[in-house]
Structure 1
Amino acid sequence: MVEIKTDEALDAMREAGRVVARALAAARETAAVGVSLRELDEAARAVLDEAGASSPFLGYQPSFAGTPFPAVLCTSVNDAIVHGVPTDYRLRDGDLVSVDCGAELDGWTGDAAISFTVGTPRPADLELIEATRRALDAGIAAAVPGNRMGDISHAIGSVARSVGCGMPADFGGHGIGRRMHEDPHVPNRGRPGRGFPLRHGLTLAIEPMLMAGGRDAYYTGPDGWTLLTTDGSRAAHIEHTVAITDDGPRVLTLP
């Protein structure tokens, strides 16, 4: 069932979104050559604790996962697309890192992700991150009343195709509100003018995931969580929680 939120609920989700933004900023500030992924997770946990928020990631176990997720961040490095588990791996010069975080505050949820490089960046990685950001911006721009879900999906997919990137077909964005994952599903490719109608009060997590190799194929790593590109190419993932409003898209997870 799709829940349409009141304006008061959108304000409450904005507060959860601020916590997410602060947690992501803390993780990015912590990231440096030689720093472990667990340390990024610890930095984000400290932000959640200070805000009195909980993590919708910690202990989460969807049908595809054999074990509950053990952290408050997903940390996906280089050829990892999404759902990377924080480990003792220490970041190396030139790594491409995608960090995904959620927060639950006063019964409402925010969810966002960032991608960045550590140390000396590869030009191709910067181009991939920028293309992913443009895909997200295009999807957000299409998130207006009167459009349909397919308009968001088509906008994201058009950017990805224009730069020759692949996307994991089975994964995309989602509705969000009282829980991290709600209806409707937000595909990262689709036909304009099709799908669920967009209206004021609908809240979505919009999250393009671009794979530099151009293929859509991926596999699940040994941890049962991390999705990796089959060709070893690098991936980027950027996400915001967005409210559809009569005044235009309202991004709830901005800093």
Structure 2
Amino acid sequence: MSGPVRAPAVLRAMAVLEQLEGASARHPLSLAALAARLGVPKSSLLSICNSLVDARLVRRTEGGYSLGHRVVELSSSYLQSLDEVHEFYSVCRALVPDPADTIHLASFAGPLDITYLARRDGSTMPVVSPIGRSLPASCSATGKSLLAQLSESELDARLGAVDRLPAVTENSITAPDELRRHLKIVRDNGFGVDDEETTPGLLCVGMAVPAARGAQWAVGITMLKARSGHEGLPAAVDVLRSVTSEMARRLGS
């Protein structure tokens, strides 16, 4: 039986959008650069870019292309459609009305990646995890808490062909065997810790939202290590237990 039919033009358009993820109005990506990255003729690529510009998914400037405003509108609509995002904000307002540290909601974005989908800023914590940012699950507190919920067979399927995990800082875990050992500690503790593994100077703790069919969401708290240190972890864990338990109750998990 043949697989599902796919439209090549749509796949190329998606490839263009992915390449423009790091571009901006000040630093756009030229047509020539896009063509070189994607390995397609400029003439073919131009028609795709023109269509994306017409749809406001891409913005064209003198220097090239960057993502357009329509991407933001679609992203906002997607986030507003998620019950988990709605309940995250509702629970945080009820249980943590004036957080000192930033609280964020993350979910798997791939087998070994997480993406931040919501954030409640703390009064003393600068924004370091913008909504939409993706990170390796292996070195983020929320990612570790989600990986720790997987069965051994599920974890094997995700790590099976991986020789080295991506490093974000010099403290990131890069060896799959070391990650497996670390996840056992996360399971025993009930929460994951990111000790300057994604951003120097920051200490993060994450906890999965309980779910009968397997956790897909996790809540994390990011702290300035110089201010809170490891002494601040117990209080953060207590907050996470309250938030994740209440989210699970409201979501019927």
Q: Greater RCO between the two (CA within 8 Å, min separation 6)?
A: 1
- TM > 0.5: no
Larger Rg: 2
Structure with more strand by fraction = 1
Structure 2 length-normalised TM: 0.27
